[in-house]
C-alpha cells in the first residue's frame, strides 16, 4: 500500500499522498499549479514538540499561514550558509534528522520526543537556518544545522557526532516531481562514510532510518519507484560500511485527512474516496514514524535478529487497517454526526482523462496487493502505534474550529517516561522467540516463519520452454493454407485467388478502384484501434510506456514498406503494469486495395486474466473482424474460469456477459460467421466467445464493430485490475506459473503459425515479416522472447 487519500473532484477536495508526496486538484493560484508535493507535505504547520512555555506554543502556532509562503521561499532561496566553525560539533545531539522542517516532518519530530529523546538530542538539517521554521525549532531546544544535500561538502561536518540518522525526505517542499532525490541519497551516504572515517571515537553513525512508501514490486507508480530507488541508493552506498539501513515504509498518512481540501467535506458528512468501499486501507500516523525511528535508533545493532540490523531491513508501518466504509463510520463516531463514504467515480473518470500522475496513484491504490502485519508490528513496538480512532481523538478532529495548522499542537505532554522505559527494555531484551521479522524487500513484517515457495528462476522458466514445441518461427505454416484465409481468398496476394485471378492490367485497375473505396474505411477502422482501444488501455494502465520493436532500439512506432512503396504500415509496442506486452500494427496495399490492422494485449503472469486481440480488415467493401479474449486455462478442465470469464455479467458490458455479445452477433443477420479452412486457425479459436465474422461496411455496422471492440477491451482491463477471485486463484504457485508460461508461449506461437503470416511474407518479404512477428510475440529485451 501507499500513503494516499484520493478524494472527490466534484467537491474539489481530492488529494493523494505517497509517504509525503501530495497531489491536489487545481487550486486558485498561479504560483503553485496542480502537481505533486514532495518532501514533508503540508503548508505552514504549527506544532508543539515539547511541553514548553505558552509563548513557545504561540510562536510555533504563528509560524503557520503568515510565514508559510515566506518559509517556502526562504527554504528554497538559500541565504549564504554559515561557516562550519560557527557550529559546535559537540552540541550534545546524537540523532541527525534530514528533511523534517515541513509539516509532516515536524510531526515526525514529535514522535522522537514521545520515545524519550529531548530536543537537544536532535540535530535538524536545513538549507536555511534563518527561516521562520528553523528559528522556531531552535527556540524549542533543537540543534539546527545548515547543510545542503545537493552540496556534498556541506554534509560531512554536519554529520559528525551523531550515531543515528532519520531521513524523512530527500526532496524539496515543491509540488513538481523532484528528480534529484537519488543523487541526494548518494551524497548523504558518501558523507556518512566520510564522517565515520574521520570519527576518532570509533563510533560514528551506525544506522540510517528512511521514510519510504509501502508497495509491492511492479507497483507501477513512478513516484513510489523513486522512493524505492532512494532506498537502493542508501543500501548500495553503505554496502561496505558499518552503517545499516532500515526502511520504514508508510501507508496512508492519517494527517493528510486534516488538509483543508479534505476535512471540510468529511465534517459535512461525505467522505469522498475513489476506491471500493470494502477494500482494506492501511493507515499510518506520521508521529508513529518518528516513534519507531527513534526506538530503532536506540537499539544495539544486534537487536531484533536481522530485522533491524542488516542492510536490507524493510518494515511496513501502519497503526490500523479499515475500509473506506469503516473509516466513514469512525469519522461519524468521533465527530458525532453522520458521515458516509462516496466512491467518487466521477473523479476517477476525470483523473484518467486529465491527471495522469493522480490516476496512476488511484489505480495503484485500487489494485495494490501490499499488506502490513499490524499485530506483529505492535508486538515489536508495544504502545507506539496509533489506531485511526485514537488519532482522530488525539488531534481533536471533532472540533470544527481547528484547522490543519493546529494539528500538531499537542494538549497532552509526550509519553516521555514510557518512551524511556521502552528504550531501556529494547536495549536489555530480545523479542519473543516466535516473532521473526522478514527482511525481504517489499514484504511486511510477519509474525511467524511461513514456508515460502520461491517463484521460478529465469533459468527454470527457460528450461520449461526449451523443447522444440516452444520454438517460434514461420516455417510450420501448412503448405497452401495461406490461400484459404479470408485475406488470401479475396485480397489478390496469391495468384489465382480473388483479384489475383485477374490479368495484371485488370488487377491494377480493380486495385485502384478498391483503394479509392476501401482506404477511407481503413482509416476509420484505425481510429477504433488507436483512438478508442489503445487510448482506453493508456487511460486505464497509466504506467504503460512505449517500447522498442524488433526493428530498432528506438521506442517510437516503426514504419515499414515494400520496395516500391505500394504497401506500407506501422507497428508500435508498449508494456507496463499488468500488460506484459501490447502491440498495434497496420498496413494497406494500394496495389490490391485492402488493409489490415490489429491490437494485441498479452497479460502478465501476475494474473490469470485472458489475453486480448482485436483484428480488423477491409477487403472489397467488407469488414473482417477477429475479436477475442484468449483463455489462459484449459476450459475443458476449468469450469470456474470458463463461467467467470465468458458467462458472468460484466460492468464494462452494462451487466451483460461476453457470451451475450457472442449471441448478439450470431443473431445479427448482417454478421456472417467466418469458418476457416485451416486446422491451425480453428485450433486457436479456443475462446467460446470469439467473434470471427465478415460484416458489410455501413455506418451502422461500423458502430457495432466499434462497440464490440471497446466492450471486449474494457472487460479485459477490468479483469487485469482484479485482485482476488478465479483470475488470482493460486497464481503465485509454481504449478500455475509454469502452466501460464507454457500457455503464453504456445498462444503467441499463433502469430507465426497463422497462415496469413505467409501472405504478409508474400508482400513484405521474409526479413520484415520475421521482425513483425517477433514484435507481436514480445519484448526484445525479455529473456523469454529473446531466446525464442
Identify the CA nearest to 320 among candidates 431, 264, 229, 394: 394
Q: Please tell me whether residues 400 and 498 are part of one structural domain.
A: no
414 in the same domain as 499: no
Residue of higher predicted confidence among 22 and 729: 729
Confidence (pLDDT) at 31: 24
Any domain includes 397: yes
Asked, for residue 777, whether it belongs to a domain, the answer is yes
Q: Taking each helix axis as running N to C, give the angle between helix 504-527 and helix 699-721, from 0 to 180 degrees, rounded to the nearest 10.
A: 50
- Report CA torsion sign: 741, 596, 576, 639: negative
What's the pLDDT score for residue 574? 94
Residues 424-468: tens digit of each pLDDT: 444 444 333 222 222 222 233 333 333 334 455 666 656 655 566
Q: What is the CATH number of the domain that holds 321?
A: 3.40.50.720
List all residues 6 or more positions away from 106 whose beta carbon is below 8 Å from its beta carbon: 40, 45, 47, 49, 100, 133, 408
Q: How far is CA 692 from the centre of its chain?
A: 35
**Spatial separation of the C-alpha atoms in residues 37 and 111, rounded to whole Å:** 22
Domain limit, last residue, from 381, 398, 428: 428
What is the pLDDT confidence band of residue 490, given thresholds at 50, 70 and 90? very low
Q: Which of 428, 452, 473 is the last residue of a domain?
A: 428
Q: Do the Cβ atoms of 742 and 470 come closer than 8 Å?
A: yes
420 and 493 assigned to the same domain: no
Query: Of 75 and 584, which is predicted with more confidence?
Result: 584
Asked if residue 567 lies in contact with residue 587, where contact means CB atoms within 8 angstroms, the answer is: yes
Do 420 and 525 lie in a common domain? no
Angle at 544 between CA 575 and CA 11, to 5 degrees: 160
DSSP3 helix / strand / coil % (the chain, rounded to 5): 40, 15, 40
* Same structural domain, 503 and 422: no
Residue 274 included in any domain? yes
210 and 131, same domain (yes or no) = yes
What whole-number percentage of the chain has pLDDT above 90?
33
Q: What is the pLDDT of residues 145-163, one digit of tens each?
A: 999 998 988 999 899 889 9
The length of the chain is: 788
For residues 528 and 415, membership in a common domain is answered with no
The residue whose grid cell reads 546524537 is: 94
Q: What is the largest CA-CA distance in the chain?
A: 101
Contact 98, 168 (CB under 8 A): yes
Residue 47, domain member (yes or no): no
For residue 391 the three cell numbers come to 488519532
Q: Do residues 533 and 410 share a domain? A: no
Please give the residue range of the domain that contains residue 534: 484-629+674-786
The model carries a pTM of 0.49
In tens, the pLDDT along 196-215 reads 888 777 678 889 999 999 98
Q: Is residue 164, in this structure, part of any structural domain at all?
A: yes
Find cell 490469470 and name the residue: 608
Tell me if 41 is assigned to some domain: no
Helix axes 54-62, 132-139, angle to 10 degrees: 170
For residue 83, give the 3-state DSSP assignment.
coil
Residues 496 and 418 both lie in one domain: no
Surface-to-core class of residue 10, CB atoms within 10 Å of its CB (0-12 exposed, 13-18 middle, 19+ buried): middle
Pair (542, 401) in one structural domain:
no
Q: What confidence tens digit (pLDDT) does each residue in 714-758 have? A: 999 999 988 888 999 888 888 888 888 888 877 776 666 666 666
Q: Taking a C-beta distance cutoff of 8 angstroms, is the pair 625, 693 a contact? A: yes
Residue 275 lies in a domain: yes
Residue 211: phi and psi, rounded to 5, are: -80, 105
Return the residue matching grid coordinates 460467421.
Answer: 673
Q: Say which CATH number the domain at 705 has.
A: 3.40.1500.20
Element holding 194 (H helix, E strand): helix 181-198
Spatial strand order of the sheet with 21-23 comes to: 16-18, 21-23, 36-37
For residue 150, give Cα distances in angstroms to 99, 107, 181, 194.
13, 25, 9, 16
What pLDDT does residue 608 have? Answer: 92
* Cell numbers linked to 530: 488507436
The alpha helices in 528-597, defined as continuous H runs, are 535-540
Residues 6+ apart with CB under 8 A from 16: 4, 5, 6, 22, 23, 358, 361, 362, 365
Q: What dihedral do alpha carbons 298, 304, 306, 312 form, nearest 10°?
A: -50
User: Both 274 and 349 in a single domain?
Assistant: yes
Q: Is residue 378 part of a domain?
A: yes
Spatial CA neighbour of 364 closest among 519, 521, 220? 220
Q: Is the dihedral of CA 63, 65, 71, 76 positive or negative?
A: positive
Other CB atoms within a 10 A radius of the CB of residue 526 amount to: 17
State the pLDDT confidence band at 496, using cuts at 50, 70 and 90: very low
Who has greater pLDDT, 11 or 315? Answer: 315
Please state whether beta strands 408-409 and 47-48 pair in parallel, antiparallel, or not at all (unpaired).
parallel
Looking at the structure of the chain, the number of domains it has is: 2
CA angle at 446 for the pair 444 and 452, rounded to the nearest 5°: 95
Say whether both 405 and 532 belong to one domain. no
* Residue the block writes with cell 463510520: 329
Closest CA to 258 of 59, 47, 72: 47
Amino acid at each position: 500500500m501507499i500513503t494516499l487519500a484520493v478524494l472527490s473532484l466534484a467537491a474539489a477536495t481530492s488529494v493523494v499522498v505517497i509517504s509525503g508526496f501530495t497531489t491536489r486538484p487545481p487550486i486558485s493560484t498561479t504560483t503553485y499549479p496542480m502537481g505533486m508535493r514532495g518532501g514533508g507535505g503540508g503548508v505552514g504547520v504549527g506544532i508543539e514538540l515539547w511541553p514548553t512555555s505558552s509563548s513557545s506554543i504561540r510562536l510555533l502556532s504563528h509560524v503557520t499561514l503568515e510565514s508559510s509562503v515566506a518559509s517556502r521561499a526562504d527554504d528554497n532561496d538559500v541565504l549564504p550558509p554559515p561557516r562550519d566553525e560557527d557550529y559546535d560539533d559537540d552540541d550534545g545531539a546524537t540523532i541527525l534528522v534530514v528533511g523534517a522542517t515541513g509539516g509532516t516532518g515536524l510531526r515526525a519530530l514529535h514522535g522522537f520526543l514521545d520515545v524519550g529523546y529531548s530536543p537537544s538530542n536532535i540535530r535538524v538539517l536545513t538549507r536555511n537556518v534563518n527561516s521562520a521554521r528553523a528559528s522556531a525549532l531552535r527556540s524549542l531546544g533543537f540543534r539546527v544545522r545548515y547543510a545542503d544535500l545537493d552540496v556534498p561538502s556541506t554534509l560531512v561536518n554536519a554529520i559528525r557526532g551523531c550515531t543515528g540518522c532519520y531521513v524523512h525526505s530527500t526532496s524539496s517542499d515543491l509540488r513538481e516531481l523532484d528528480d534529484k532525490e537519488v543523487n541526494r541519497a548518494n551524497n548523504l551516504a558518501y558523507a556518512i562514510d566520510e564522517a565515520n572515517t574521520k570519527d576518532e571515537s570509533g563510533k560514528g553513525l551506525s544506522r540510517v532510518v528512511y521514510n519510504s512508501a509501502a508497495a509491492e514490486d511492479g507497483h507501477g507508480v513512478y513516484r513510489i519507484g523513486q522512493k524505492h530507488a532512494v532506498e537502493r541508493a542508501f543500501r548500495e552506498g553503505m554496502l561496505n560500511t558499518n552503517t545499516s539501513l532500515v526502511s520504514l515504509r508508510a501507508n496512508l498518512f492519517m494527517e493528510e485527512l486534516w488538509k483543508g481540501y479534505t476535512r471540510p467535506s468529511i465534517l459535512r458528512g461525505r467522505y469522498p474516496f475513489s476506491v471500493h468501499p470494502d477494500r482494506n486501507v492501511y493507515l499510518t500516523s506520521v508521529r508513529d514514524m518518528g516513534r519507531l525511528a527513534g526506538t530503532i535508533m536506540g537499539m544495539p545493532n544486534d537487536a531484533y535478529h536481522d530485522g533491524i540490523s542488516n542492510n536490507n531491513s524493510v518494515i511496513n508501518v501502519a497503526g490500523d487497517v479499515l475500509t473506506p466504509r469503516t473509516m466513514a463510520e469512525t469519522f461519524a463516531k468521533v465527530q458525532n454526526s453522520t458521515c458516509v463514504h462516496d466512491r467518487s467515480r466521477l473523479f476517477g473518470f476525470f483523473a484518467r482523462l486529465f491527471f495522469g500522475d493522480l490516476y496512476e496513484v488511484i489505480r495503484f491504490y485500487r489494485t495494490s496487493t501490499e499488506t502490513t502485519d499490524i499485530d506483529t508490528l505492535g508486538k515489536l513496538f508495544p504502545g507506539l502505534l496509533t489506531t485511526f480512532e485514537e488519532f482522530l481523538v488525539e488531534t481533536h478532529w471533532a472540533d470544527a474550529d481547528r484547522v490543519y495548522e493546529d494539528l500538531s499542537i499537542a494538549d497532552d505532554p509526550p509519553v516521555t517516561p514510557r518512551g524511556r522505559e521502552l528504550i531501556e527494555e529494547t536495549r536489555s531484551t530480545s523479542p519473543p522467540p516466535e516473532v521473526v521479522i522478514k527482511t525481504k524487500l517489499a514484504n511486511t513484517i510477519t509474525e511467524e516463519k511461513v514456508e515460502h515457495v520461491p517463484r521460478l528462476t529465469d533459468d527454470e522458466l527457460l528450461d520449461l520452454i526449451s523443447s522444440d514445441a516452444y520454438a517460434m518461427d514461420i516455417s510450420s505454416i501448412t503448405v497452401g493454407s495461406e490461400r484459404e484465409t479470408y485475406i488470401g481468398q479475396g485480397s489478390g496476394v496469391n495468384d489465382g485467388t480473388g483479384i489475383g485471378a485477374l490479368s495484371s492490367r485488370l488487377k491494377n485497375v480493380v486495385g485502384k478502384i478498391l483503394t479509392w473505396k476501401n482506404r477511407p474505411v481503413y482509416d476509420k477502422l484505425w481510429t477504433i484501434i488507436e483512438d478508442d482501444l489503445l487510448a482506453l488501455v493508456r487511460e486505464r494502465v497509466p504506467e504503460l510506456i512505449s517500447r522498442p520493436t524488433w526493428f530498432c532500439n528506438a521506442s517510437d512506432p516503426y514504419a515499414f514498406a515494400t520496395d516500391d512503396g505500394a504497401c506500407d504500415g506501422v507497428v508500435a509496442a508498449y508494456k507496463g503494469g499488468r500488460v506484459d506486452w501490447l502491440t498495434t500494427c497496420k498496413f494497406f496495399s494500394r496495389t490490391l486495395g485492402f488493409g489490415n490492422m490489429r491490437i494485441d494485449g498479452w497479460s502478465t503472469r501476475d494474473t490469470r486474466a485472458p489475453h486480448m486481440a482485436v483484428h480488423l480488415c477491409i477487403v472489397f467493401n467488407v469488414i473482417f473482424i477477429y475479436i477475442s479474449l484468449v483463455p489462459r486455462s484449459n476450459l475443458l478442465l476449468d469450469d470456474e474460469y470458463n463461467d467467470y470469464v465468458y458467462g458472468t455479467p460484466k460492468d464494462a458490458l452494462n451487466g451483460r456477459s461476453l457470451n451475450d455479445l457472442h449471441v448478439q452477433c450470431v443473431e445479427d443477420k448482417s454478421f456472417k460467421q467466418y469458418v476457416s479452412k485451416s486446422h491451425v486457425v480453428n485450433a486457436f479459436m479456443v475462446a467460446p466467445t470469439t467473434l470471427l465474422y465478415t460484416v458489410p461496411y455501413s455506418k451502422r455496422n461500423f458502430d457495432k464493430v466499434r462497440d464490440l471492440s471497446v466492450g471486449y477491451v474494457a472487460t479485459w482491463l477490468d479483469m487485469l485490475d482484479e485482485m482476488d477471485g478465479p483470475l488470482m486463484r493460486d497464481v503465485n504457485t509454481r504449478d500455475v506459473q509454469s502452466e501460464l508460461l507454457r500457455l503464453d508461449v504456445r498462444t503467441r506461437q499463433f502469430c507465426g503459425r497463422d497462415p496469413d503470416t505467409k501472405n504478409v511474407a508474400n508482400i513484405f518479404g521474409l526479413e520484415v515479416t520475421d521482425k513483425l512477428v517477433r514484435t507481436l510475440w514480445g519484448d526484445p529485451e525479455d529473456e523469454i522472447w529473446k531466446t525464442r
